[in-house]
Structure 1
Amino acid sequence: MDHRRDQDSGQMRLVAVVIAIAMIGWLGMQWLGSQYGWAAKWAYLIDLAAIGAFVWSLLVTWRIWRRRNA
């Protein structure tokens, strides 16, 4: 039981890091894009990457929540 709790804690830390990096990276890339006049297609690509990170984080968090409530 403790092994699973340690594993869940590690996964939640990973989720937190992914969310933080995705948010900081997204903000930074949006700022760079506006400063250098990048095309809109690059902004959409950056948005898609951030959304992918957030969806992954949501799915991992949901899986951990289900496992703890089972």
Structure 2
Amino acid sequence: MTKPDAQELRNARSARLVAVVLAVTMILWMGLQVVGGEMGWSPRFAFLFDLAALAAFLWALVVTYQIWRARRG
């Protein structure tokens, strides 16, 4: 078995970070939606949470694309 090079280790670290960000974003987003609904928060807060979640998902998509490109190259 060969030792992975530095690029592969960076890709693996980035992939783990993307996985954690996706999981935490989903859990927080769903939790905040439930808490906001139960506590009667303004719908503006729901849109704020939605935009924050979309930003995290967009970041994860960009980083995943970068990992994919690095593996192809």
Q: What band does the TM-score fall into relative to the shorter chain?
A: over 0.9
Identity of aligned residues (%): 46
**Corresponding pairs, count:** 70
Q: Name the CA distance, whole Å, in 2 between partners of 1:10 and 1:64.
A: 10
2:56 is equivalent to residue 53 of structure 1: yes
Greater than 4 Å deviation, 4+ residue runs: none
**TM value normalised by structure 2:** 0.93
Q: Name the CA distance, whole Å, in 2 between partners of 1:63 and 1:9.
A: 12
Consecutive unaligned residues in structure 2, runs of 5 or more: none
Quote the residue 1:28 is aligned against: 31
Q: What's the CA shift for 1:29?
A: 0.1
RMSD: 0.9
**Richer in helix (by share):** 1
Q: What's the CA shift for 1:66?
A: 0.6
